[in-house]
Structure formats: C-alpha cells, structure tokens
Amino acid sequence: MSCAVTDGVAISCLCCAVHNCPLPLPSSHACFCIPHAHLEYVCIFPGCNAPTQLDMQTSEQEEEEEEEDEEDEENKVQVKVQDKQEQLQPKYKGLHFGRCRMHNKQFVVCPCSIVLAWATFYGSEGMFSVAPFLMSILPTCKAMPEVLFFDNNCTLGQYLIGRPEAKHFKETVLVVDVFHYKTKHADNNVYCSTHCNLASFPELYDLASETWTFNSSACKQTNTWICKYQGQLQEMSAIQFEFFLDEVIKARNEAIVEGLEH
Ligand SMILES: [Zn+2]
Ligand SMILES: [Zn+2]
Ligand SMILES: [Zn+2]
C-alpha cells in the first residue's frame, strides 16, 4: 500500500504584491515584478485606479476620506482609552501596504520522511492550488498514492465533488492525521467523519503492533526541520530562496536514503 502526506508550511520570501503572481522582484525594495511595476503608481484601494500621491500608496481621494474620518473622531466628546489600540490599526484592512510575502510552501512527503515534491503557493493554500499541484507531481491515477494524508482533506474531498479532477483522485483515500482529526475536525461534520476519519479504515491500523500503518506526522517533522532555516530565508530574494530550499531538501533526502540503506 502506498502513502504520501501533504501539508503547507509558513516559510516565505518577498514576492510581487499582485495576488498569485510568481514573477521575481527586480530588487529587495521593490513591491512589484517588472511587468507589474506600473502598479507602484496606482492607488491600492480596491476599485480605485487613480494615481498615487508622492511617496504614498493611495490616491488623493482616500486622503480626503481619511481627513473626514479624523474630523468625525475629533467631534466625539470622549474617546475611551481602550479604543486607542483600535485607532492604531491600519485603516484599510486586507490591503497590501508595502512589500508582500508569498503565502506558503507546500510539501508532499513519504512516511519515511523523504520529500517527494515541494511548491510555492503565492496567494493561498486553497484547493484550487493544492489539487493542481498534486496532479502535476503525481500525473496519473496510478502515480497517486493509495492513501493521502492532508489536514484539509475534508475540504479537498468536497472541492472535488462534481469536478473533472475527481477522476484523478478516485483510487486515493483522503484521510486526516488522527491527532489533527481529534483536535481540529468536528464530530458533527458528516462528510469529515465518514470520509476522512482514520478510524473508518481498519486496514490502516496494525493490530499486532497496535499502531497506525503509516507515519502521518512525516510532513509535520519536515516542517519543523525546515522552519529552522526561517531566519536565513526571511530576507532572501526569490531566486536565492528557491535555490537554498532545493539544495537543503535534496541533501536531507540523500541523507535519509543513506540512513535507510544501512
Ligand atoms: Zn507581478
Ligand atoms: Zn484611490
Ligand atoms: Zn475535516
């Protein structure tokens, strides 16, 4: 029986501020890649395409609105002290002020801890990123593992319903790691408890040793290992970041293979 574990890890470097744009930045101070460089001078407020003011990321219009807000604020008789903290929060929640970071790295790991594949997700760890990634590295139904662990498998399973991609996953059981399942997945989620609960798959439990057949925490262990490099990765350019990760992952894989052979 074959098995793989996939998970996202929050290590990242700076990237273009346009959602999901994979192109590298021309310098460590840039917010945009070269094809998107013109956006540096367009207001970042959604729906506003006005030019920005000097050394700002918003246009005159947002400036005026902000002034009005401030006047309203001054007109209030008393401002409670505990509200102060709230006022310090940025006005335009969810907008990208300054430089952007890529969302996460996604790993696919064997239960023996060898990393099969890794990819950068720029925008999010959504299913529209996860499903095509898995299909690209495991390109046929046969190449897919019989068991795939993923903390978000209930979302993936439901995402696949009625989609053409579902064919690709039809031979694969999508389960959730037993510890994660107990702590994070509600018992009252019918889809999750019938499709992703390891307890519904007795063939994945070894009665003799009273353990689960597969080491589903292999990916978590890899994530913990890679996070040790976070400090170094922080300020790298995308090219250095990808190169560094490729090299350390390959070296670790080789060391694991060597360990398994002896
Ligand atoms: Zn870009
Ligand atoms: Zn604007
Ligand atoms: Zn679930």
What is the 217 CA–ligand 3 centroid distance (Å)?
A: 17
119 and 249 share a domain? yes
User: In terms of domains, do 150 and 223 share one?
Assistant: yes
Amino acid at site 211: T
Residue 222: strand pairing partners: none
- Nearest ligand to residue 49 Cα: 2
State the distance from the centre of ligand 3 to the C-alpha of 126, rounded, in angstroms. Answer: 15
pLDDT at residue 86 is higher than 70 = no
What is the per-residue pLDDT for 93?
37
Closest CA to 249 of 234, 233, 261: 233
Q: What is the mean pLDDT of residues 30-53?
A: 84
Tell me the average pLDDT across 190-211: 84
In a domain, 80, yes or no: no
45 closest CA partner among 59, 31, 35: 59
pLDDT of 261 reads 87
156 belongs to a structural domain: yes
pLDDT mean over 80-88: 45
Residue 220 has a pLDDT of 87
Q: Residues 39, 144: one domain? A: no
First and final C-alpha spacing in the chain: 23
User: What pLDDT, in 10s, does the model give residues 133-184?
Assistant: 999 999 999 999 999 999 999 999 999 999 999 999 999 999 998 888 888 8
At residue 45, the pLDDT reads 78
Distance of CA 236 from the midpoint of ligand 3 (Å):
35
Query: What is the Å distance from ligand 3's center to 198 Cα?
Result: 11
pLDDT for res 97: 64
Q: How far is the CA of 31 from the centre of ligand 1 (A)?
A: 9
Assess if residue 76 is contained within a domain: no
Query: Phi first, then psi: what are they for 172, rounded to 5°?
Result: -110, 130
Provide the residue range defining the domain that includes 232. Answer: 3-22+104-261
* CATH code of residue 255: 3.30.420
> What pLDDT shows up at residue 88?
41
How high does pLDDT run on average in the chain?
84
- In this structure, are 174 and 253 located in the same domain? yes
Last residue of a domain, one of 51, 83, 98: 98
Q: How far is the CA of 174 from the centre of ligand 1 (A)?
A: 34
- Give the contacts of 5 (CB within 8 A, at least 6 positions apart): 108, 109, 110, 111, 148, 149, 150, 177, 214, 216, 217, 218, 219
